[in-house]
Amino acid sequence: MRILIAGGDGFCGWPTALHFSARGHEVAIVDSLIRRQWDEELGTQSLTPIYSLEERVSAWKEHSGREIRTYIGDLTDYSLVERVFRDFQPEAVVHYAEQRSAPYSMIDREHAVFTQVNNVVGTLNVLYAIKEITPDCHLIKLGTMGEYGTPNIDIEEGYIRIQHKGREDVLPYPKQPFSFYHLSKVHDSHNIMFACKAWGIRATDLNQGVVYGLWTDETRVEERLFNRVDYDGVFGTALNRFCIQAAVGHDLTVYGKGGQTRAFLDIRDTVQCVELAALHPADAGEFRVFNQFTEQFSVLELAQRVKRVAEEMGIRANIAHLPNPRVEKEEHYYNAVHTKLIDLGLKPHLLSDDIIRELILTAQRYKDRVNFDVIKPTASWR
């Protein structure tokens, strides 16, 4: 299959590109490399050293003998998107290329506007390119579990059957997102659903939970193939942050009570789920929604687990309850359905103490790269 990975220089995109390439698919990456600029803006960097995209793909070629084509450019520029689609003629597009940090989107008006324009316009351009150039191409779009929020009923996979005044219909599940970033994903979902209906496009919206880990079989081979992993208060995410904090002797930063429950998955399952979606495409005109995660945990539960594993490794770890910079429920019901990817064959890597240990060991190895000043949360929702 010819697979285009949009955002292929990022945390999920790079391992995905290698995973498909290793399995014999023809892979191309399109990325503006803007994520590397956001690191500079925030005074941070990936915990692990990451090489330039050019060095990464040439190391992959040396190692595997396989070529990954690269296009450097911004999806909000339609002339670039058009050129990539005409040249590569993708049969599937895995679209990761968005601003993905909730705190970044909440810094100020400028960052909120940037996030929504970047994400919504980029996705609209991809939809138009599919319609005009490769109408059979399957769009595999990364959405987020945070589109649903934390309702007091079970979260279904995309749709819910509703009875109202004696009539019944299956409708998109109500959305109560957590931030202007999460809202950009809701807007994307609506645009994609409409494009499927209007133009007969085939699309899968993967509502992914928080991803942890960083290693996949391909990225651990040698340093030039390493994946990025974020620990800072803007791009770092809950479990990875706690492991890195424990390793460098920083308090584990639980926001508020820590009863916030979220859906989680291992990065190896991200690539596995995306592969399953690609190998089993949506029908023409179908807007399919999968909840892409394997387990749910409260934030405090994760911090306590990291603390226990760290202490077994001889590292003293302290849990701090910081004032919550976000507006979110800290104690709530949470039960999200996630059967569709399992039905397609997903074999989950559930969270184990070994994963936590490996993350802590990785962070110990690269602790000199950690800037303590960027660990605390800075963006406030209020």
Using CB under 6 A as the binding criterion, the count of chain residues that bind ligand NAD stands at 27
Cα–Cα distance measured from residue 105 to residue 112, given in angstroms and rounded to the nearest whole number? 5
181 is a catalytic site residue:
yes
Q: Which is nearer to ligand USQ, 210 or 356 (CB)?
A: 210
Should residue 241 be labelled a site residue for ligand NAD when binding is judged by CB under 6 A?
no
Strand partners, 72: 31
Which one of residues 47, 211, 238, 276 is an interface residue with ligand NAD (CB under 6 A)? 211
185 is a catalytic site residue:
yes
Q: For the window 124-153, what string marks contact with ligand NAD as x by the rule CB under 6 A?
A: ------------------x-x---------
Should residue 35 be labelled a site residue for ligand NAD when binding is judged by CB under 6 A?
yes
Query: Which residues are CB-contacts of 341 (< 8 A; sequence separation ≥ 6)?
Result: 273, 276, 277, 290, 291, 292
Should residue 227 be labelled a site residue for ligand NAD when binding is judged by CB under 6 A?
no
Which long-range CB contacts under 8 A does 355-359 form with residues at least 24 apart?
355/212, 355/213, 355/266, 356/239, 356/243, 356/305, 356/306, 356/309, 357/309, 357/313, 358/213, 358/215, 359/212, 359/213, 359/214, 359/239, 359/240, 359/243, 359/244, 359/247
Active-site position among 70, 141, 173, 185? 185
Min CB(327)–ligand NAD separation in Å: 20
Min CB(182)–ligand USQ separation in Å: 6
Cα–Cα distance measured from residue 304 to residue 290, given in angstroms and rounded to the nearest whole number? 30
For the chain, how far is it from start to end, CA to CA, in angstroms? 46
Q: Which does 241 bind (CB under 5 to 8 A by kind): ligand NAD, ligand USQ, none?
A: ligand USQ
Q: Which residues in this chain contact ligand USQ in the complex, by CB under 6 A?
A: 100-102, 144-146, 182, 209-210, 237-238, 241, 253-255, 260, 262-263, 299, 326, 328
134 is a catalytic site residue:
no
Min CB(237)–ligand USQ separation in Å: 3
Q: Give the count of beta carbons closer than 10 Å to the beta carbon of residue 378.
A: 14
Which one of residues 4, 5, 13, 310 is an interface residue with ligand NAD (CB under 6 A)? 13
Active-site position among 70, 144, 150, 219? 144
Which long-range CB contacts under 8 A does 255-258 form with residues at least 24 apart?
255/299, 255/321, 255/322, 255/323, 255/324, 255/325, 255/326, 255/377, 256/321, 256/322, 256/323, 256/324, 256/330, 257/300, 257/321, 257/330, 257/331, 258/298, 258/299, 258/300, 258/301, 258/303, 258/321, 258/330
Should residue 362 be labelled a site residue for ligand NAD when binding is judged by CB under 6 A?
no
Min CB(236)–ligand NAD separation in Å: 10
Min CB(265)–ligand USQ separation in Å: 10
Should residue 266 be labelled a site residue for ligand NAD when binding is judged by CB under 6 A?
no
Q: Which does 216 bind (CB under 5 to 8 A by kind): ligand NAD, ligand USQ, none?
A: none
Min CB(153)–ligand USQ separation in Å: 17
* CA trace torsion 271, 99, 219, 67 (10° rounding): 90
Give catalytic residue positions: 144, 181, 185
List of residues contacting ligand NAD (CB under 6 A): 7, 9-13, 31-35, 74-76, 96-100, 118, 122, 142, 144, 208, 210-211, 237
